[in-house]
Amino acid sequence: MNHPTITRFSAIFLASLALVACGGGTDEDLDKRGSPTSVNTLPIAALSQAEIDSLLYMREEEKLAGDVYIRMDALWGRSVPVFSNITASEATHTEAVRQLLQRYSLPDPAAGNAVGVFQNPDLQALHNQLVAEGSVSLIDALKVGVHIEELDMVDINTHLASVDNQDIRRVYESLLQGSRNHLRAYYQTLLKQGGSYTPQYLSQAEFDAIVNSAMERG
């Protein structure tokens, strides 16, 4: 018998992927290995405290990306479509983490919170800072997009070092692929607008290796 939460997980996520395929978002999203259908074939194992903390943090960090991009799209969306496209993609990312919380019966720290509202005070401060920076100009907004995706990759890799559960690892690895694609999209758009960016979290070599390689497909 199918678990109702798992069935709902698959339905919501596959619907999101269908939206992307129809042009509602981007094709830079969770790969097939990270889809609910794939994740649900993996065992539900006991969680360590590090894994619990990781899921709670990643839920709000993925929300932060989407919330900032919503604000940037409202300001600069008439100039470039990248914010709108990646906002749609981030919606599937944050939903994937939310469904992992449900799978493990963990509280959702983002439940009921409006756009731009976070439980984690550090993420709240970061959101406010990035929105302020991105409100200055289109170039600054695109730099904020690169900043978020660069930080997201570093954080996901840090979390992967303390995560053993196969289903969590699979989703995180897929989120990592999505962040690499988003980084490429923001950086390429930034260059076309005459901007530049110096990596803040990755080494220059790591950053260059990502932005100079092709978009990844699931």
pLDDT of res. 27: 39
pLDDT of res. 5: 39
pLDDT of res. 56: 98
pLDDT of res. 159: 97
Contact (CB, 8 A) for 43 and 163: no
SS3 assignment for the chain: CCCHHHHHHHHHHHHHHHHHHCCCCCCCCCCHHHCHHHHCCCCCCCCCHHHHHHHHHHHHHHHHHHHHHHHHHHHHCCCCCHHHHHHHHHHHHHHHHHHHHHHCCCCCCCCCCCCCCCCCHHHHHHHHHHHHHHCCCHHHHHHHHHHHHHHHHHHHHHHHCCCCCHHHHHHHHHHHHHHHHHHHHHHHHHHHCCCCCCCCCCCHHHHHHHHCCCCCCC
pLDDT of res. 33: 58
Contact (CB, 8 A) for 66 and 91: yes
Q: Is the pTM of this model over 0.75?
A: yes
Q: Would you write out the chain's pLDDT as a tens digit for each of its 218 residues?
A: 344 433 343 333 333 333 332 223 343 455 555 555 578 888 899 999 999 999 999 999 999 999 999 999 999 999 999 999 999 999 999 999 999 999 999 999 999 999 999 999 999 999 999 999 999 999 999 999 999 999 999 999 999 999 999 999 999 999 999 999 999 999 999 999 999 999 999 999 999 999 999 999 86
pLDDT of res. 58: 97
Mind listing the domains of the chain with CATH numbers? 4-211 (1.20.1260.10)
